[in-house]
Structure 1
Amino acid sequence: MTQAASAFRALHDGPGAFILPNPWDVGTARILAALGFKALATTSAGMAFALGIREGQATPDQVLDHCRSLVAATPLPVSADLEKGFGDSPESVAETISAAAATGLAGGSIEDHTGDPDRPIYPFDLAVDRIAAAVEAARAVPGDFVLTARCENLLWGRDDLDDTIRRLQAFEAAGADVLYAPGLYDLETIRTVCSAVTRPVNVVMGMPGATFDADELAAAGVRRISVGSALARRAYGAFIEAAREMAGEGSFRFAHRAMGFAEIEGHFAARGP
């Protein structure tokens, strides 16, 4: 796994931007690997959907078990969406990173969203202290671990770009390897964020609103492009649409759009039974 972590870090050195897709189980991880992607990232929402729970309700053991299964699914490096970590304090974040690294992950992200809708974003100093603790823990693990620091302002009603950049810059100063502010809404804003920091920036596509292709994002300064829960939501959307057709109409027209066995299984052929 040290080799995978080193390969993951090298992807961030460029040139250009690479796509980091987000599988939610072993099968989707293996399909993405067969399609030629160079690294994978978990999706906390996709994992939760597969468990039949809401995002943020998974236990630490469930999260770590999920990470182990995706790490073992392919030879590719895997980065994990670790949400806020397994607690609010810097110490709990450090413990999260140590436990996550022990699963064989090549990296992971910690966000400044509290999980509490009444106070959704950690105060600035605490948010920075949490990232500093995560960095210290990441540097202490055997091998390498690419730490991504996330500012969640734009997803939680705090449309304050100045504060978002201030937080990302502070996370960079604390030692974060990758910076990430989900919800950036246009190329000019993305360009502004990328030019305000010196570490690689991750941008998520697949959220409601404008989408841009990889070349456009690379030209704006983006180094890494993820899709979060978008693949899982697309798949669950198709499933629910088909189920509603059966429940509401008693028809099965959806099956005409189903992919055949041979095409699906072709993605798993290299791994054997």
Structure 2
Amino acid sequence: MNRARTFRSLHHGRMPGDPLVLPGPWDAASARVFEEAGFPALATPSAGVAASLGYEDGETPAGEMFAAVARIVRAVGVPVSADAEDGYGLPPGELVERLLETGAVGCNLEDSADGVLKDPHEHADWLAEVRAAAGDELFVNARIDTFLRGVADPARAIERAALYVAAGADCVYPIGAPADVLPLLRAGIQGPLNMVARPGEGPSPAELGALGATRITFGPGLQRRSVQALREIAAGIAS
């Protein structure tokens, strides 16, 4: 079984309370730490990778992001999904080609750009082109930014999810959705559902799984916690 099929299979047949937990490496060293801890797959966070490269979130040049993902993929033996933000303005075929060149088996694709939600029908058409170009070689996680952009009604997220799943998305990711609406989202959305966890605060991955999440990612949270730990180490040796 190739890595893409292995990665896709990890999202199916999961029991409530046992979601797929995907730590987010920001470089090769962190990827190896997560692999050594026993995680079956990884998912890069664009904000965490940006920070490691000296950029603000959303400002990493596409070439540098793809190169960073390729280094992470080369460092580990488990499947890696890549956060490709809003696709960097690349045509679907070129985006897929560049992702596959990194060795990634999946991607996150956002439905907003410059802080503004995209038209959901146009975005669904674009996702369908990505799906057609990728075939079964990429697991497409369609990020839904309604909650992030101030649209609190879960029905709007569910409507977008239906369009994206129909377009061929393998999973949807209503980023920023509060945990208390997760059962409603689960009831209204077909297929795997990604939620973000924040270590040390909020529901645990297992609790989010019990509420209906299939897959748990952490955004840049793990990278930011590592930076805080490094600050504490630095303060200790500087005193």
Question: Is TM > 0.5 for Structure 1 vs Structure 2?
Answer: yes
Residue pair 1:84, 1:93 contacting (<8 A) in 2 also: no
Counterpart CA distance in 2 for 1:220 and 1:23 is 26
Q: How do residues 155-174 of structure 1 correspond to structure 2 at under 5 angstroms?
A: 155-174=148-167
Residue in 1 that maps onto 2:118: 122
Q: Which has the higher contact order (CA 8 A, sep 6+)?
A: 2
Q: Secondary structure at the match of 1:217?
A: helix
Residue in 2 that maps onto 1:262: none
Q: Supply the AA of the counterpart residue of 1:194.
A: R
Matched, 1:86 2:85: no
Q: Structure 1, residues 159-218: CA drift from partner, whole Å, max 9, x if none? A: 23211111011101111001111111124x11111121221011111189x622233222
Q: How do residues 133-148 of structure 1 correspond to structure 2 at under 5 angstroms?
A: 133-139=129-135, 144-148=137-141
Counterpart CA distance in 2 for 1:133 and 1:86 is 15
Q: Structure 1, residues 61-97: CA drift from partner, whole Å, max 9, x if none? A: 111111111111111000000000021xxx6244212
Q: Supply the AA of the counterpart residue of 2:208.
A: L
Counterpart CA distance in 1 for 2:235 and 2:147 is 33
Residue in 2 that maps onto 1:149: 142
1:130 CA displacement: 1.9
Counterpart CA distance in 1 for 2:182 and 2:94 is 32
Counterpart CA distance in 2 for 1:206 and 1:214 is 9
Residue in 1 that maps onto 2:226: 235
Counterpart CA distance in 2 for 1:220 and 1:51 is 35
Q: Identity over aligned residues, as a percent?
A: 33
Q: Supply the AA of the counterpart residue of 2:63.
A: D
1:242 CA displacement: 4.8
Q: Structure 1, residues 29-71: CA drift from partner, whole Å, max 9, x if none? A: 0010000000001110111111111011111111111111111
Residue in 2 that maps onto 1:37: 39
TM-score (normalizing by structure 1) = 0.81
1:223 CA displacement: 1.1
Among 141, 151, 169, the alignment partner of 1:176 is 169
Matched, 1:221 2:212: yes
Q: Which runs of 4+ in 1 moved over 4 A?
A: 241-246
Q: Secondary structure at the match of 1:13?
A: coil
Q: How do residues 254-265 of structure 1 correspond to structure 2 at under 5 angstroms?
A: none
Q: Which moved more, 1:67-76 or 1:124-133?
A: 124-133
Residue pair 2:121, 2:163 contacting (<8 A) in 1 also: no
Bigger radius of gyration among the two = 1
Residue pair 1:205, 1:225 contacting (<8 A) in 2 also: yes
Q: Secondary structure at the match of 1:148?
A: strand
**For the aligned residues, what is the CA RMSD?**
2.0
Counterpart CA distance in 1 for 2:6 and 2:54 is 33
Q: Secondary structure at the match of 2:207?
A: helix
Evaluate the alpha carbon distance shift between residue 201 and residue 30 of structure 1 in structure 2; reply closer, same or farther with a 3 A threshold.
same
Residue in 1 that maps onto 2:111: 112
Q: Supply the AA of the counterpart residue of 2:78.
A: L
Matched, 1:5 2:4: yes
TM-score (normalizing by structure 2) = 0.91
Q: Which moved more, 1:94-103 or 1:23-32?
A: 94-103
Residue in 1 that maps onto 2:30: 28
Counterpart CA distance in 2 for 1:128 and 1:225 is 23
Counterpart CA distance in 2 for 1:29 and 1:101 is 19
1:124 CA displacement: 2.1
Residue in 2 that maps onto 1:198: 190
Q: Secondary structure at the match of 1:53?
A: coil
Residue pair 2:179, 2:208 contacting (<8 A) in 1 also: no
Residue in 2 that maps onto 1:265: none
